[in-house]
Amino acid sequence: MAEKREPGQQSGFRWWRDLPSWLQALTGVLGLLILVAGGGGAAVALHSHGSASRPKSSTGPSVRPSNRQSNGPTSDGRSTASVWSGPISISSAGDGIDFDSRPPASGSSNLEFNGSILYNGGNNANNSFQIATWTNSFTPNRDQCNTLVQDHPSSQQPAETGAGYCVLTGQGHTAYLQITDINSDVADGTLYANAIIWNAAGLAGSSAPITNPAYAIWWRSQISISYAGNGIDLDSKRPASGSNNLEFNGSILYNGGNNANNSFQIATWTNSFTPNRDQCNTWAQTHPSSQQPAETGAAYCIITGQGHTAYLQITNISPNVADGTAYANVTVWTP
């Protein structure tokens, strides 16, 4: 039975059925090619559009390393290194100490003490020595101390137990000094302190190097010194009688050298620990004397006629041996 159609309704494909078969085939192939080409273009367009509209990943502005040098302060490990630290003492009866020597000793630009004032005793007209009181509760580093003393320059400061001081030396080293005690009964007034000396001066990079010799033990031995003998010379190895003898008269250790230029010094070591070479050398130079009372158990720091540093501790005194004999242990360091 034929399909019934409403008036005006016609098949949309009737015209296609009426075409010759070869034309239908050709038209199909052409249509397929158009479809493929159009789809590829659409895909290309879609891909291009998607890429253009995708937000770019951002991690913020990139930082490019700068090769420009800063004009601000720079750190110089060599310039801020501590070259010496340790206990010192300065006596009103002595010549003061120079922080440009290592360890601190009497020199050309001394820090001196008159019993109440720390001051510079250097006679150099071009002397750049400065001292300022450190008023903060913490121990400064080199830069903090250097800045303070350049901002508050002075050639003297009142000395008080517990007070700290920043020093710029005659050769430009920076030092920090803190007073631990002041004893008015020792050598017309003696100040005891802990000191730190750094290896730089003024602005970073301007340095005046301190020599840093290696102090080795030259010899160590037990000795005895008799009143009936001629004493011993610590510049000989092993100790024997010589030109610059340490002698004992039964109660006093003293220098028996006759050399007018004799630099021999002896000082009683009053601390409870055994000193190293630097501590003993500083002690003898800041407590200079040619003699000391001899007591069992007492210890002494000595600078010999040829510049050796020695530490001597008396272990026994026998008054019945050779009119009096002192027995001791001695360590002598190289000059």
Q: What is the DSSP string of 204-250?
A: TTB--PPP-----EEEEEEEEEETTS--BBTTSSS-B--SS-EEE-S
Q: Are residues 221 and 327 in the same domain?
A: yes
Residue 38 lies in a domain: no
In the beta sheet, which residues pair with residue 267? 301
Measured at the alpha carbon of residue 185, what is the angle toward residues 184 and 190, in degrees to the nearest 5?
50
Question: C-alpha 47: how far from its chain's center?
Answer: 66
With 0-12 CB in 10 A as exposed, 13-18 as middle and 19+ as buried, what is 197? buried
Based on the structure, what is the number of domains in the chain?
A: 2
Residue 98 lies in a domain: yes
Q: Are residues 148 and 225 in the same domain?
A: no
pTM: 0.45
Residue 68 lies in a domain: no
pLDDT at 12 over 60: no
pLDDT tens digit sequence for 203-262: 433 344 444 444 577 888 889 999 988 889 898 877 787 777 899 999 999 987 655 446
pLDDT tens digit sequence for 65-121: 334 333 333 334 334 667 788 888 888 877 788 888 777 777 667 889 999 999 987
Q: Judge whether 269 and 301 are in contact, CB under 8 Å.
A: yes
Question: Among residues 301, 307, 303, 298, which one has the least CA distance to residue 327?
Answer: 298
Give, as one character, the DSSP assignment of residue 303: E
In the beta sheet, which residues pair with residue 117? 158
Residues 6+ apart with CB under 8 A from 329: 220, 221, 222, 223, 312, 313, 315
Q: Are residues 285 and 327 in the same domain?
A: yes
Question: What is the chain's Cα-based Rg?
Answer: 46
Residue 75 lies in a domain: no
Q: Are residues 235 and 182 in the same domain?
A: no
State the Cα–Cα distance between residues 335 and 204, nearest whole angstrom: 32
pLDDT tens digit sequence for 267-318: 999 988 888 887 888 888 888 888 999 999 999 999 988 888 999 999 999 9
Q: Judge whether 87 and 203 are in contact, CB under 8 Å.
A: no
Q: Are residues 178 and 221 in the same domain?
A: no
Question: Among residues 329, 61, 317, which one has the least CA distance to residue 221?
Answer: 329
What element of type H or E holds 23?
Answer: helix 21-53
Residue 278 lies in a domain: yes
Residues 6+ apart with CB under 8 A from 208: 100, 171, 172, 173, 201
Residue 222 belongs to what domain range?
Answer: 217-333
Q: Judge whether 290 and 266 are in contact, CB under 8 Å.
A: yes
Where among 146, 165, 198 does a domain terminate?
198
